Amino acid sequence: MTDTQVAEIATSRRREATRQRLLDAAAEVFAEVGLDAASVEAICERAGFTRGAFYSNFATKDELFLELAGRVSRERVAVVTERVAELARDGVEITAQSALEMVQLVLGETGDDRLGILLMSEIRNHALRDPALAAAHLAQDDELRRSVAQIIADIGDAGGLSLRVPPEEAAGLMLTVWESATVRATMAGLDHEQVRGLTNAQLAGVAQLLIEPR
């Protein structure tokens, strides 16, 4: 390996760190004031850089937002798929009233924080007007649904309970209710724990609806 290659790696390491810090700062600022109201200046200030660093790393604010949106969605999917993996690893062992278990598994520690909720809302809002963003958003949403569907199917098999709709539909409904509940609770000004409690309750109710009564 030549000296220049070593240098390149070192610099790109530093560069990558700068990128990440800018993305983290942007996430905060976007969540606080929204994409449009967030100035590049404010993002840089939060990250501890000046605008030179910004434009050295991103062509425009939109480009940064796009990358951030992707990151957020991927993280969301990752958390849930991790749960699927856990489930498969430990071997599922669920009893009759697994409605609540299902709930816990779907959102588990995913107790999305306020920042995450605000960011998702911001992304959704912009996706309604930006076809490219919309496509990416919908694709990642589908992936999330498939992951949740997998969990639900596994639980159904293991617990010996039958669902009134296919796992995919059940997953879609659960996710819809989950999002709606978190947004409403956050809007009502509740704190993290309360948001989670309310969301759990809502999800438990839907889970009961989804289970075939015997």
Report the amino acid identity of residue 75.
E
Which residues have C-beta within 8 Å of that of residue 90, sequence separation ≥ 6? none
Which residue number, 32 or 157, has a Cβ lying nearer to its own copies?
A: 32
Q: How many residues bind its own copies (CB under 8 A)?
A: 41
**Where does 46-110 show beta strands of DSSP type E?**
none
Among positions 168-187, residues that touch its own copies (CB under 8 A) are 169, 173, 176-177, 179-180, 183-184, 186-187
Q: 163 — phi, psi (to 5°)?
A: -95, 155
Report the amino acid identity of residue 9.
I
- Stretch near DNA under the rule CB under 7 A, chosen from 10-18, 82-90, 118-126, 182-190: 10-18
Report the amino acid identity of residue 112.
D
> Minimum distance between the CB of residue 10 and DNA, rounded to whole angstroms?
3
**In Å, how far are 81, 129, 190 from 77, measured between CA atoms?**
6, 23, 25
Which residue number, 48 or 166, has a Cβ lying nearer to DNA?
A: 48
Which residue number, 105 or 211, has a Cβ lying nearer to its own copies?
A: 211
List the helix and strand counts (H, then E) for the chain.
9, 0
Which residues bind to its own copies, rule: CB under 8 A? 32-37, 117-118, 121-122, 124-129, 131, 134, 137-138, 141, 164-165, 169, 173, 176-177, 179-180, 183-184, 186-189, 205-206, 208-210, 213
